[in-house]
Structure 1
Amino acid sequence: MLALMKDGSKVLTLPKFTPDTYIMSLEKYSPTILMLVPPMIIFLSTHPGVKSDYLSSLRIVTSGAAPLGALDEEKLRQKVGNHLNVIQGYGLSETSPGVTLIPLELQGKSPGSMGTPLPNTLIKVVDENGKHLGYNQTGELWVKGPQVMKGYLNKPEETEKTFQDEWFKTGDLVRCDEDRMVFIADRMKELIKVKGFQVPPAELEEIIRHFPGVADAAVIGIPHERHGEVPRAYVLPKPNSTIDVDKLQIYVASQVAKHKRLAGGISIIDNLPRNASGKLLRKNLKELYKNKGL
């Protein structure tokens, strides 16, 4: 916000997100830049009240706080037009907060990417033993740079577990392609372990969101006697839409490997828990399943 104001841009902030107020603001002010989180991007792409005309002046959308999949990115571009630049970045509070960002000259080359490392920033992708992995292999992201914190205040044990040879262990699973573009898979602690296979919830959520009538989705792992865990989906329908659960099961099964199918079932829900920055609170859904079986 301050960078835009420094350049003389008119900046509009809203104290609270409500669909009607946001749509009215788009229509009235014809923004050229929007700074968003993925749930709001999905809102722009899918809400019937958001007309393409309201976004005709839009040139840049920045997305952060959570991964935005390639399908969701392209869906927004289809609504706005190919002139739209969708700029994603990645970071954490512990990295002040930036690690990667998509340069404008590489925008659109790798939809769904978080971009390349910021200046003076080193990254590497490692396996569970800390061994460096090659291109297009998924592992944990480690970071080194001047923006990385020295440690957690008054928590020496947690600090020691978080660093190895001055590398900060993010706890996020990523892959890096030959162009050194970083793609986020999911949080390590939120992976679903099915018969020894690792299933990223975000991958399934993106697929489910592209089923007709689906506004949003969340996936968690639930206990299973033989497989350890299996994926279970919580689906938020669009207004005045009905989701055929059996057809959704078939649709997902046609898109993924057998161990990624929604063997834990599908629950239709009227609200998905998120924090203020738009991150899904999957732990809340796990508690809902544990306590109420929903």
Structure 2
Amino acid sequence: MTRSTYPDVEIPAESVYELLFADLDEADLDRIALVDGTSGDETSYRQLIAQIDALAGALAARGLAVGDTVGILCPNVPDFATVFHGVLRAGGTATTINSLYTVGEIANQLTSADAHWLFTLSPLLPQAAEAARAVGIADDHLVVIDGAEGHPSLRDLLFDRAAPPEVHFDPATHLAVLPYSSGTTGHPKGVMLTHRNLVANVLQSEQVIPLGRDDRALAVLPFFHIYGLTVLLNFALMKRAALVTMPKFDLAEFLRIASTHGCTWLFIAPPIAVALAKHPLVDDYDLSGVDVIFSGAAPLDGELARAVADRIGCTVCQGYGMTEASPVTHAIPVDRPDIDRSSIGLALPNTECRVVDPASGLAVRVPRKGPSAPGELLVRGPQVMRGYLRDEESTAHALDRDGWLHTGDIATVDRDGVYAIVDRLKELIKYKGYQVAPAVLEAVLLTHPDVVDAAVIGIDDDDGQEVPKAFVVRRSEAEIDEEIVMAYVAERVAGHEKVRMVEFIEVIPKSTSGKILRKDLRSKVGRHAAVG
């Protein structure tokens, strides 16, 4: 067992609202908290807190009780901050929903989370309304943030002018957010994250991410993803930085916003790093104000990190974590240029780690020089989830009796406490930072009448980014081809979950117990088709 090389930080018994907003002074109140990157509209901390309090009051007055769950289906706009923190301020639990989800996926999450409220934007209303009807959410509990006939708007709720409620709960056990994760494999599960989990991770991150009051951070990574929620929405606000929101990624708009709004920090996922390193459009914009580019959500190659740093003229770091850990467990500190950019850096304060042999469970020995032998990375700390919602079996698989979270990633560690991810034990695919569960895609594939068997793995594309590839056993004499298979899946899943490559094979390799042998599939090289 190895403790973080950093001293522990104190984790106060506070709610997320108390940590982020309780100690704001007059100077802080008039600072800019949020900037709409598209329109340029600004929201001060004073305005933001007033909106959060007013929304909390309106929700309580309209029947939201402490512990009730509220769905949020919304891209990155400033109002997301009001809605999310208004729900938490009222004692509710927010379940953040991927804006790319289909009606069925939205409905499944609302049902699983037992949500009786849903906030969304008008462009997403068609699928939101259909999902809400399917699960029994009434029209007056489907809030269209920017307004739509037949539904309350955020403005309507704010103009209730109800005082925020007096709420009492234990931050150590009360759920703040219920994001959904596929864990190491399987179907998405509700990850129970408490106020203490989120408070802890923000304070832990403070030791390695020196974001300050005069910084502007570009928020294109979605707030519905725990990385965007913790490292951007919560952390940036606690540090009194200005958060510049961007609802979806477009390279030209990303570069324009970063340049026009003077962003000093860019929080990205590796696919954006590829564009920053290679695309000629980057040369058309002034990014001289960028000090740090921080990557997460998927592995960043060291050579790619150096290429971005050289081209932009800034520091490039990466962090590591998972939804089940709120999410950050490791990061390369900005002030440590000596640490290999392809590593995940050091464990955060208050974080314990183990690297164990997957077969024996015994700790891997750390040599005097160089990295250790690879083993599964286990972590333990105050940021680790309570468990999966109403799923004791999956919880027991991920969290052992001693509180160790089994990440499913294969890592090495050296004597200086620097960790590197070298392989994946878990089956989860990370496509452009989004989680894609092979089991979900396999289930869809098997509904096709001409598919006898199927398996899905992640493989690298030409840019070194992981994409889902399907191996398919087709029915004898069936005439389906790769394009038909990919189109069939695309009609039934969110855009990021689409199968990008297909290979037809005679049989899916399986163990005697019926488990798919994915390592055998990874060793295969065959014809395939790919789509963007």
Contact (CA 8 Å) 1:87, 1:107: kept in 2 or not? no
Q: Which runs of 5+ in 1 are unaligned?
A: 192-200, 211-215, 224-258, 272-294
Where do 1:191-202 residues align within 5 Å? none
| Match status 1:132 vs 2:368 | no
SS in 2 for 1:31: coil
1:144 corresponds in structure 2 to 380
For these two proteins, the number of residue pairs brought into alignment is 219
> How far 1:177 sits from its partner (Å)?
2.5
SS in 1 for 2:260: helix
Contact (CA 8 Å) 1:52, 1:79: kept in 2 or not? no
> How far 1:93 sits from its partner (Å)?
1.8
Question: CA–CA distance in 1 between the matches of 2:529 and 2:466?
Answer: 9
Contact (CA 8 Å) 2:339, 2:345: kept in 1 or not? no
Question: CA–CA distance in 1 between the matches of 2:350 and 2:344?
Answer: 17
Where do 1:60-79 residues align within 5 Å? 60-79=292-311
> How far 1:159 sits from its partner (Å)?
1.8
> How far 1:117 sits from its partner (Å)?
1.0
SS in 2 for 1:149: coil
Contact (CA 8 Å) 1:102, 1:115: kept in 2 or not? yes
Question: CA–CA distance in 2 between the matches of 1:59 and 1:184?
Answer: 26
Where do 1:100-249 residues align within 5 Å? 100-128=330-358, 129-135=360-366, 136-166=372-402, 167-190=404-427, 205=460, 208-209=462-463, 218=467
> How far 1:58 sits from its partner (Å)?
1.2
Query: 1:96–1:3: structure 2 CA closer, same or farther, 3 Å change rule?
Result: closer
> How far 1:106 sits from its partner (Å)?
1.9
> How far 1:56 sits from its partner (Å)?
1.7
Question: CA–CA distance in 2 between the matches of 1:261 and 1:64?
Answer: 25
> How far 1:88 sits from its partner (Å)?
1.4
Question: CA–CA distance in 1 between the matches of 2:251 and 2:238?
Answer: 29
Contact (CA 8 Å) 1:173, 1:184: kept in 2 or not? yes
Contact (CA 8 Å) 2:357, 2:376: kept in 1 or not? yes
> Cα RMSD (Å) of the superposition?
3.1
Contact (CA 8 Å) 2:319, 2:328: kept in 1 or not? yes
Which moves more between the two structures, 50-59 or 32-41? 50-59
Q: Which runs of 5+ in 2 are unaligned?
A: 1-231, 367-371, 429-456, 473-519
1:283 corresponds in structure 2 to none
Question: CA–CA distance in 2 between the matches of 1:39 and 1:103?
Answer: 21
SS in 2 for 1:104: coil
Partner amino acid, structure 2, of 1:98 = V
Corresponding residue to 2:530 among 239, 250, 269: 269
Which moves more between the two structures, 21-30 or 93-102? 21-30
Identity over aligned pairs, percent: 32
> How far 1:9 sits from its partner (Å)?
3.4
SS in 2 for 1:106: coil
Query: 1:86–1:52: structure 2 CA closer, same or farther, 3 Å change rule?
Result: farther
Which has the greater radius of gyration? 2
Contact (CA 8 Å) 1:171, 1:189: kept in 2 or not? yes
Partner amino acid, structure 1, of 2:413 = C
1:95 corresponds in structure 2 to 325
SS in 1 for 2:275: helix
| TM-score (norm. length: structure 1) | 0.64
Contact (CA 8 Å) 1:52, 1:80: kept in 2 or not? no
Deviations 1:97-119 (A, max 9, x none): 22112222324521112111111
SS in 2 for 1:50: helix
Partner amino acid, structure 2, of 1:23 = L
Contact (CA 8 Å) 2:305, 2:317: kept in 1 or not? no
| Match status 1:35 vs 2:271 | no
Corresponding residue to 2:315 among 70, 85, 88: 85
> How far 1:6 sits from its partner (Å)?
4.8
2:33 corresponds in structure 1 to none
Query: 1:153–1:7: structure 2 CA closer, same or farther, 3 Å change rule?
Result: closer
Contact (CA 8 Å) 1:85, 1:108: kept in 2 or not? no
Question: CA–CA distance in 2 between the matches of 1:174 and 1:159?
Answer: 22
Contact (CA 8 Å) 1:172, 1:184: kept in 2 or not? yes
Question: CA–CA distance in 1 between the matches of 2:238 and 2:522?
Answer: 49
> How far 1:263 sits from its partner (Å)?
5.1
